[in-house]
Amino acid sequence: MQPIVVTDTVRIPGRALSLRAVRASGPGGQNVNKVATKVDLRVDLGAIEGLSDEARARLGALARHRLDADGRLVVTSQATRDQSRNVDDAREKARRLVGAALAAPRPRRPSRPTAASVERRIATKKQRAAVKERRTRPARDD
């Protein structure tokens, strides 16, 4: 099987891929009962070449719901009624998923509220406190 090239340095070798064709669900008439057009592509995550440890960890997190019992990534496609196009679609899905793991997320920089927003919040709290204060019974003078 042909390798999947993600970038110049990252690729999924052909030995890391296993392909299985199964019968697709959904419409298709008599064709759906006799032709296996749905594609089940499995990728051995440990065999992906050129992936850094951080990217490998991100890929594991991104694909955690798509892993089988052996820890391989499972990508399926039944978008078309043509097996070869579904193979191409599944390979593209796997390429996009590995590509998404290569991009490191931007670190969150905590921000502070503006002075005006703090002022508005305090004013709203005081207004609410005044409403609740007016609900209480007046104090009795004995």
Closest CA to 65 of 19, 39, 97: 97
Antiparallel, parallel or unpaired: β 38-43 and 73-77: antiparallel
Q: What is the pTM of this model?
A: 0.71
What are the structural domains, with CATH classification, of the chain?
A: 4-102 (3.30.160.20)
**Predicted confidence (pLDDT) per residue in 108-133, tens digit:** 999 999 999 999 999 999 999 999 99
Q: Across residues 19-26, what is the average pLDDT?
A: 84
Mean residue pLDDT across the chain: 89
Per-residue confidence band for 28, with pLDDT thresholds at 50, 70 and 90: low
Are 41 and 15 within 8 A, CB to CB? no
pLDDT at position 25 over 90: no
- State the Cα–Cα distance between residues 34 and 31, nearest whole angstrom: 6
pLDDT at position 142 over 70: no
Q: Which of 59-63, 101-105, 117-121 has the highest mean pLDDT?
A: 117-121
